[in-house]
A and B are shown apart, each in its own frame.
Chain A
Amino acid sequence: MKLSRRKFLGGTAAAVSSLSLFSFNLLTNSSSVEAADPTSKTMKTFRNVCPRNCYDTCGTISYVQDGILKKVEGDPKHGYTNGKLCLKGYAYPRRIYSPDRIKYPMKQSPRGSGNWTRISWDEAMDTVAKKILDLKKRYGSTLPICLDTYSGNMGIVHYGIQGTMSSLGYTTRTVGTPCWPAGIDAQTYDFGTLYNNDPEDMVNAKYLILWGQNAAWTAIHSIPFINKARERGVKLVVIDPIVTSTASKADLYVQINPSTDGALALGMARYIIDNNWVDWEYARANSVGFDEWVDYIKKSVTLDWASEKTGVPKDIIMEIARDYATAKPASMWVGYGMQRHTNGGQNVRIIDALGVMTGNVGKSGGGVNYGHLETWGFNYNTMANLAPKGSKGFISPDGKEGDRNININNFAHDASAQNDPPVKMLWLACRNSASQNPDTHAIEKMFASMEFVVTVDSFFTKTVEMSDLVLPATTHFEDWDVMASYWHYWVGINQRAINPLYESKSDVEIAIELSKKMNTLEPGSCTFPTSGTPEEWLAKEFNPAILQMLGIKDYKELIDGPRKANMPSASWSDGKFRTPSKKIEIHSELAEKNGLPALPIWVEEMKTPEKYPIRFMTPHPQHAIHSQFQNLDWMMTTNPEPKVEIHPVLAAKYGINEGNMVKVYNDLGSITVKAHLTRTTSTNVIVSYETWYKNSNFNVNYTLKATPSDMGKQATGNDGLAFHDNFVMIEKA
């Protein structure tokens, strides 16, 4: 087409004017950036609690105007989180209103094609219910249906996910926890359960050891309590293979050989015994098997050995031992990272014993602090559904009929290995299996072998990408719920601050819909109640014991502010341990019965394989909780791409420069990721933070083998995962 000059000019002018006509600011409110006005009469506030799998479980205030969440703030009435939030917490409005949210029920055909079609809730429920009934008919039970759920939303009402399955019959369930079971078992063997001091009590410590704990990233609200102690001159010691942001602030940072924490604790114990700084009185009065352990140390542990094993100079071991034993009280915080090893639980047991030996257990300002579940005594009413009459279950070795439990930490293998009947359908909720499980290739294969996969989620995660059907989940701002923490002692209510967006529903509402549909198609096939408002479901979670613990008469009092459990600030201060012997079991017969050493003795760490000489550590990210948050545009701006941290010496060996793409691989698979050269790691450890980036296939778990940690079965049903015993090779990509 020929354009005359006049036409050209005219066209340009038109382009200019249309440019301004359709410029964004004319279509939206151009009065630009104005902060939400909290004093506005139309502004309403609601109490919410961040339900993520996180130490801090923050109390938040939601500012809502005309039904729209304008901003979030920390709840000043929450004594631990103190009116402030972390970067993820502040990103919530962006998460709620993300254009990437799943808005409607959708089906994908074929699975994995990306060819999604919007369907109605009725069609979605019809499809799922018919599939369930079909499987039940073909196999005579609902055991071919497998539930995988975990920590996507830790609100108590969300246990309705398990309740959904129970109401259908006996199903296959993933059991266990990937994160922290080895440490839980360690504390279960030693003390009867896990039970930490109130973290706010850290201010009373006279010496602080953070053992494999990166609070700056994973429990930021603890920092002010630690700092308060430090302002009094308290020394902060951080023991970690990586110079984390927390370690960077330490008075003393100790770069330990990974997985040798027990050896360091034993070396310290030896020096404490040699100098007679032992609190014999406390240890002997409160524990069983203490002297036996002391004898073991005297016979088998030397400082030279501990130094050799851990890579920590002898004089430093001596210094920490002296300071820890003589500062009374001294506090230890055992992070979850350090127990993600094949000897992780055993290492925690040794550290527990070190705390007992110095009389730091049961003391304010002391403790071997790992976590607790003391404030979790709710009714779990949404789970309480009996299987429909005539349901056939799995007969366990002890003759009981029930669900068929498989290992959450070996999901791919276990789900594929079932034969009688095989697993044919997956139901996933509060869980991004494809991102968070070990051996991603195996997970992909297992998913592909399924007849039907349903996922409930808010975003198109990798798991959703491998599903036939996705159901849009509400966020916690759209639900009623109650949240407890596994670290601090506060419990808070979560109000419905905004109406559910689009067509999203909560897990309980989905269960109600499914139940209606099931019972229409086959009366009596589902026992999940078909009525109740979200707030009514919440109300059913409270019982007199929990109300009393929180010092309230009615759950509605929580709307005035979160409540702290009425518990002493020092755990175990009453000396009533929950072990079989009612004492601290330095010698644990239960451990022995489970095939573990009875005593907290040294157990060798996993040896580095010759073929894959580099340890690949994949700790928790800063901008995300696992696969949540990093995909949001605010996070993608501030942290646009994954990196692998490599020590310059190691990088030089493989000819890798800053910013090069690096292939990280082993027998299971590989990932290609950009190199960041840093001396914050050591010469045989590379580090990349697990998470899910938007539009990226980055997933550290392609290289992660499902290696179990040593403990976890006793309290959580299955052993944990030795995430940090992952070995790889690297090359310039």
Chain B
Amino acid sequence: MGDWEWPLILFTVLGQIAIGIILMLWYLDREVDQLDAKLFKQGVLVSGVLLALALLASLFHLGHPEAAYRSLAHLSSSWLSREILFFLLTFLAWIYLFWQSRHLTIIRTLGPGATPITTAEIAAGKQQSANHSLGLGITSILGLLGIASSAMIYVLPRVPAWNNVGPVLFFLLTTGLLGALVTLVLGGKLLQTVQKKRLLQWSLGCTILSLLLYVVYGSMLNGSAEGTASLNFLLNSPLFWIRALVGWLAPLLLLVSILKKPQLDKTTLILTVTLLAVLGEVLGRALFYLSATGIHITALF
């Protein structure tokens, strides 16, 4: 059985939220006419802070954090090297986004009350919009590649519970679910009803998919002795049942009720769902590490 890997749990979950936010901003930006600039600015900032925290957390996993830069050395076969590369590229792309969001803000604050908006400025604004769509897109793709690489680290022949498509799907679903929910919380009134609805539907979809996937995954685990050990660990762990309740069942019910009853006070409910889902994913990630059983030497002593 594995250990309680706080640095890795924080790194992966925070990193996935960070990239999820960017992904959602990109999605909103493409799908609907206009992404609110304030939301863009806030989203980019929060995403960056989370990303930085994630990278910082990852250092605590290392015996020698001061030498972390060396982890780029083995791109030819190490997914960890690739992960770090993609995360660094993501961070570079984020810096560009951040610069862009600051720039945009300056224009906006100067805008009202001053000179009327000219066609040239409108054209420039549109140009800007297209630009941040590109920036969001690049950051999202790099981030998703980073997350996929993170997941590929755990695809180890030695660990049957991980040696499958599971880790990649889990990590991507965390990105989708928490990215959407955190964006909902950040967006609040800045989001259009349609946007809100889409994000809620997306969250619900991710939750359902996550649950279904877990059932399939669980039934797959029985294929090996170590997989069975992982499964038994999960089913016997109270944490798993808390995770199921907090991370799947509660969000599922709440999301359905929010979507069904538009008259409900959404702000508090969305915040509740988000907190529950974050807790669920953190527990889920902890269990991911805890339940990992490697193929090992079985001897008396």
Asked if the two chains touch in their complex, CB atoms less than 8 Å apart, one says yes
Which residues does A use to contact B, with CB under 8 Å?
Answer: 12, 16-17, 19-20, 23, 25, 639, 676
- Once the chains bind, are B65 and A16 in contact (CB under 8 Å)? yes
Over the window 63-94 of chain B, the binary record of Cβ atoms lying under 8 Å from chain A Cβ atoms (1 yes, 0 no) is: 11110000000000000000000000000000
- Once the chains bind, are B65 and A20 in contact (CB under 8 Å)? yes
Given contacts A16-B59, A19-B65, 13 further A-B contacts (CB under 8 A): A12-B56, A16-B56, A16-B60, A16-B65, A17-B66, A20-B64, A20-B65, A20-B66, A23-B63, A23-B64, A25-B64, A639-B301, A676-B300
Task: Using CB atoms, name the residue of chain B closest to A15.
Answer: B60
Task: Using CB atoms, name the residue of chain B closest to A678.
Answer: B300
Q: Which chain A residues border B301 with CB–CB below 8 Å? A: 639
Shortest beta-carbon distance from B44 to chain A in Å: 17
Nearest first, the 9 A-B pairs at minimum CB distance are A20-B66, A16-B65, A16-B59, A20-B65, A12-B56, A19-B65, A20-B64, A23-B64, A25-B64
Which residues does B use to contact A, with CB under 8 Å?
Answer: 56, 59-60, 63-66, 300-301
Shortest beta-carbon distance from B66 to chain A in Å: 4
A19 to B64 CA separation, bound complex (whole angstroms) = 9
A-B residue pairs in contact (CB < 8 Å), sample of 8: A16-B59, A16-B60, A17-B66, A20-B64, A23-B63, A23-B64, A25-B64, A639-B301
Task: Using CB atoms, name the residue of chain A closest to B56.
Answer: A12
A698 to B48 CA separation, bound complex (whole angstroms) = 56
Q: Which chain B residues border A20 with CB–CB below 8 Å? A: 64-66
Shortest beta-carbon distance from A255 to chain B in Å: 20
Q: Which chain B residues border A676 with CB–CB below 8 Å? A: 300
Q: Which chain A residues border B60 with CB–CB below 8 Å? A: 16
A17 to B66 CA separation, bound complex (whole angstroms) = 8
A229 to B78 CA separation, bound complex (whole angstroms) = 53
Looking at chain B's contact residues, the main secondary structure is loop
Shortest beta-carbon distance from A243 to chain B in Å: 13
Q: Which chain A residues border B59 with CB–CB below 8 Å? A: 16
Shortest beta-carbon distance from B194 to chain A in Å: 34
Task: Using CB atoms, name the residue of chain B closest to A20.
Answer: B66
Q: Which chain B residues border A23 with CB–CB below 8 Å? A: 63-64
Looking at chain A's contact residues, the main secondary structure is helix
Shortest beta-carbon distance from A25 to chain B in Å: 7
A17 to B64 CA separation, bound complex (whole angstroms) = 10
Task: Using CB atoms, name the residue of chain B closest to A676.
Answer: B300
A23 to B59 CA separation, bound complex (whole angstroms) = 14
A676 to B301 CA separation, bound complex (whole angstroms) = 11
Shortest beta-carbon distance from B55 to chain A in Å: 11
A16 to B61 CA separation, bound complex (whole angstroms) = 11
Shortest beta-carbon distance from A678 to chain B in Å: 8
Task: Using CB atoms, name the residue of chain B closest to A643.
Answer: B301
A597 to B239 CA separation, bound complex (whole angstroms) = 71
A705 to B66 CA separation, bound complex (whole angstroms) = 60
Task: Using CB atoms, name the residue of chain B closest to A12.
Answer: B56
Task: Using CB atoms, name the residue of chain A closest to B66.
Answer: A20
A20 to B68 CA separation, bound complex (whole angstroms) = 12
Identify the interface centre among B59, B60, B63, B66: most chain A CB within 10 Å of its CB.
Answer: B66
Shortest beta-carbon distance from A24 to chain B in Å: 10
A12 to B10 CA separation, bound complex (whole angstroms) = 14
A639 to B301 CA separation, bound complex (whole angstroms) = 9
A23 to B63 CA separation, bound complex (whole angstroms) = 9
Shortest beta-carbon distance from A6 to chain B in Å: 12
Q: Which chain A residues border B300 with CB–CB below 8 Å? A: 676
Shortest beta-carbon distance from A647 to chain B in Å: 15
Q: Which chain A residues border B66 with CB–CB below 8 Å? A: 17, 20
A20 to B67 CA separation, bound complex (whole angstroms) = 10
A25 to B63 CA separation, bound complex (whole angstroms) = 10
A25 to B64 CA separation, bound complex (whole angstroms) = 9
Shortest beta-carbon distance from B110 to chain A in Å: 28
Shortest beta-carbon distance from A288 to chain B in Å: 51
A16 to B59 CA separation, bound complex (whole angstroms) = 8
Shortest beta-carbon distance from B163 to chain A in Å: 30
Shortest beta-carbon distance from B46 to chain A in Å: 12
Shortest beta-carbon distance from A433 to chain B in Å: 31
A25 to B67 CA separation, bound complex (whole angstroms) = 13
Shortest beta-carbon distance from A32 to chain B in Å: 12
A639 to B300 CA separation, bound complex (whole angstroms) = 12
Q: Which chain A residues border B64 with CB–CB below 8 Å? A: 20, 23, 25
A12 to B301 CA separation, bound complex (whole angstroms) = 41
A122 to B160 CA separation, bound complex (whole angstroms) = 66
Identify the interface centre among A17, A19, A25, A676: most chain B CB within 10 Å of its CB.
Answer: A19
Q: Which chain B residues border A639 with CB–CB below 8 Å? A: 301
Q: Which chain B residues border A12 with CB–CB below 8 Å? A: 56
A16 to B60 CA separation, bound complex (whole angstroms) = 8
Q: Which chain A residues border B56 with CB–CB below 8 Å? A: 12, 16
Shortest beta-carbon distance from A552 to chain B in Å: 45
Task: Using CB atoms, name the residue of chain B closest to A638.
Answer: B301
A676 to B300 CA separation, bound complex (whole angstroms) = 10
Q: Which chain B residues border A16 with CB–CB below 8 Å? A: 56, 59-60, 65
Task: Using CB atoms, name the residue of chain B closest to A640.
Answer: B301
A23 to B64 CA separation, bound complex (whole angstroms) = 8
Task: Using CB atoms, name the residue of chain B closest to A639.
Answer: B301
Shortest beta-carbon distance from A677 to chain B in Å: 10
A20 to B59 CA separation, bound complex (whole angstroms) = 11
A676 to B66 CA separation, bound complex (whole angstroms) = 45
A639 to B65 CA separation, bound complex (whole angstroms) = 33
A19 to B59 CA separation, bound complex (whole angstroms) = 11
Shortest beta-carbon distance from A457 to chain B in Å: 30
A627 to B65 CA separation, bound complex (whole angstroms) = 42
Task: Using CB atoms, name the residue of chain A closest to B49.
Answer: A5
Q: Which chain A residues border B63 with CB–CB below 8 Å? A: 23
Shortest beta-carbon distance from B297 to chain A in Å: 15
Q: Which chain B residues border A17 with CB–CB below 8 Å? A: 66
Task: Using CB atoms, name the residue of chain A closest to B57.
Answer: A12
Shortest beta-carbon distance from B60 to chain A in Å: 8
Shortest beta-carbon distance from B54 to chain A in Å: 13
A50 to B36 CA separation, bound complex (whole angstroms) = 81
Task: Using CB atoms, name the residue of chain B closest to A658.
Answer: B300
A344 to B240 CA separation, bound complex (whole angstroms) = 60
Task: Using CB atoms, name the residue of chain B closest to A13.
Answer: B56
Shortest beta-carbon distance from A632 to chain B in Å: 18
Shortest beta-carbon distance from B69 to chain A in Å: 13
Shortest beta-carbon distance from B1 to chain A in Å: 16
Task: Using CB atoms, name the residue of chain A closest to B52.
Answer: A9
A12 to B65 CA separation, bound complex (whole angstroms) = 13
Shortest beta-carbon distance from A630 to chain B in Å: 15
A19 to B56 CA separation, bound complex (whole angstroms) = 13
Task: Using CB atoms, name the residue of chain A closest to B60.
Answer: A16
Q: Which chain B residues border A19 with CB–CB below 8 Å? A: 65
Shortest beta-carbon distance from B300 to chain A in Å: 8
A51 to B56 CA separation, bound complex (whole angstroms) = 54
Shortest beta-carbon distance from A333 to chain B in Å: 27
Shortest beta-carbon distance from A705 to chain B in Å: 31
A25 to B66 CA separation, bound complex (whole angstroms) = 12
A406 to B289 CA separation, bound complex (whole angstroms) = 62
Shortest beta-carbon distance from B263 to chain A in Å: 36
Shortest beta-carbon distance from B67 to chain A in Å: 9
A518 to B235 CA separation, bound complex (whole angstroms) = 73
Shortest beta-carbon distance from B91 to chain A in Å: 16
Q: Which chain A residues border B65 with CB–CB below 8 Å? A: 16, 19-20
